[in-house]
Structure 1
């Protein structure tokens, strides 16, 4: 893999975020003007020497990214003899402008909303999407292998959003001030924001139409890349919320709570250990 080859591989991965040697249920992406095909990108990655792979890793690390390869036995949906390459943001490194919020603001803006208001719309829609992809299936963020069963219809996300806004209205003055701007929607605003949000997820490679139901309705399925990224978010960005949830449960049961992050025991775990001790 020379520098030209590496440039083609990186350009492809920045566009699609993933590449698959023998994708199941879809055609491989053909070459576009100025961009290699999926077949050629996978061949270059498969045939790269250890030194070339190290150079590619260093190159991507400079942009806050890492490339991970998965084989057929790692996750469902990867065909026998295939290999799935996923380009992920490295949580240990500073993120490049590629992962900036500007694309989100541009896509969700309908009028002259502030960046804070647009961030509220994205957060609400993202959390509701997690309800459809995880809570509904009694699935943890670590259940990456169940990504193929995680589907939802656009209408379901829209209905959840409407319910969420009604709940905010019911709170009246008790509603968080930062969320009140969400109640100023007009006409088809909610439908437009849901469509824009889903389009963002599809463009980022996090959602796709189910491969066995393409063209049969407005149904979306999480991709393997989307499941891997959600797991990473859970580990590196949401672990403090999981600790708070564990704390709330323990307090409800009458057990005082200590820190429960990074391997530290909660008071509940310490109590169990004492009861089990001889």
Structure 2
């Protein structure tokens, strides 16, 4: 991969975050076949160099075989899906606005801007978790089951209903003590704006390529990009945050989070 090709592929990844020579469920985008061929024709050394280039800017490249998604190979067409993700432990490059979604979610109508920002973060977290409930728990799907992304649907009506039900249950259970009470206050205060928050959030998710319209009014499905990213994140991070069943697993988790080996951690005891 020469410098010109690196620039072409990188620019495409920054714009779309996903490259597929034979994309599932959609048509090829302008220029996509060309960048897919560039990546497909790279040897391991060239791909490692490109990964180093991405890592230096806080990114990493994940690839999946199209066969996993039921895409039959075509002669002369790359059958790999590449996804641009964040590089764990590295700061993203300064030119990347990784908080644009906060501004997109905020109403900006007066008040204290910092308070609005905190409120937006609280709501975005709850909205995101609710969306994942539709994509995974509701259909009894694991994050590793990437190929089932085509079964993961959400409609605005059902999304709002689920949010409203959750906020109502939370409110009826009473205000908790401490910091949790502050979050409770924000949700309870804005319970009448759930539909507005939901509409903004779904719009942001569509803009970011996490969901795509199905053709039915106010209905979306998870994108293959979102499914691959969730699988990658869950395999790398979520398992470390879940409570282990055995004491040894707890020590292993602590050691991994500290960047140590289990042997190192045991020697310190």
TM-score range, shorter chain: 0.7 to 0.9
TM alignment of 1:28-177, pairs within 5 A: 28-30=28-30, 37-73=31-67, 75-81=68-74, 82-97=79-94, 102-110=99-107, 111=109, 112=111, 113-174=115-176, 176-177=181-182
Contact kept in structure 1, 2:105 and 2:204, CA below 8 Å: no
Q: Could you report, residue by residue, the CA deviation over 1:196-215 in whole angstroms, capped at 9, with x for unpaired residues?
A: 21222222222223xxxx42
TM alignment of 1:160-199, pairs within 5 A: 160-174=162-176, 176-185=181-190, 189-199=193-203
Q: Could you report, residue by residue, the CA deviation over 1:89-147 in whole angstroms, capped at 9, with x for unpaired residues?
A: 22243344577652121011113443221110011001111111111111222222322
Q: Tell me the TM-score normalized by structure 1.
A: 0.76
Contact kept in structure 2, 1:17 and 1:204, CA below 8 Å: no
Contact kept in structure 1, 2:175 and 2:184, CA below 8 Å: no
Q: CA RMSD in A?
A: 2.5
Which of 197, 207, 210 aligns to 1:206? It is 210
Contact kept in structure 2, 1:240 and 1:261, CA below 8 Å: no
The SS at the match of 1:205 is coil
What are the ranges of 5 or more consecutive residues in structure 2 without an aligned counterpart?
254-269
The SS at the match of 2:170 is helix
What are the ranges of 5 or more consecutive residues in structure 1 without an aligned counterpart?
31-36, 248-256, 265-278
CA 1:49–1:143 in structure 2 vs 1: closer, same or farther (change >3 Å)? closer
CA 1:99–1:165 in structure 2 vs 1: closer, same or farther (change >3 Å)? farther
CA 1:186–1:130 in structure 2 vs 1: closer, same or farther (change >3 Å)? closer
Q: Tell me the TM-score normalized by structure 2.
A: 0.78
CA 1:55–1:129 in structure 2 vs 1: closer, same or farther (change >3 Å)? same
The SS at the match of 1:238 is helix
Contact kept in structure 1, 2:164 and 2:191, CA below 8 Å: no
User: After the TM superposition, which of the residue ranges 92-101 and 230-239 deviates more from structure 2?
Assistant: 92-101
- Name 2:223's counterpart in structure 1: 223
How many residues are matched? 241
CA 1:201–1:96 in structure 2 vs 1: closer, same or farther (change >3 Å)? farther
The SS at the match of 2:174 is helix
CA 1:140–1:99 in structure 2 vs 1: closer, same or farther (change >3 Å)? farther
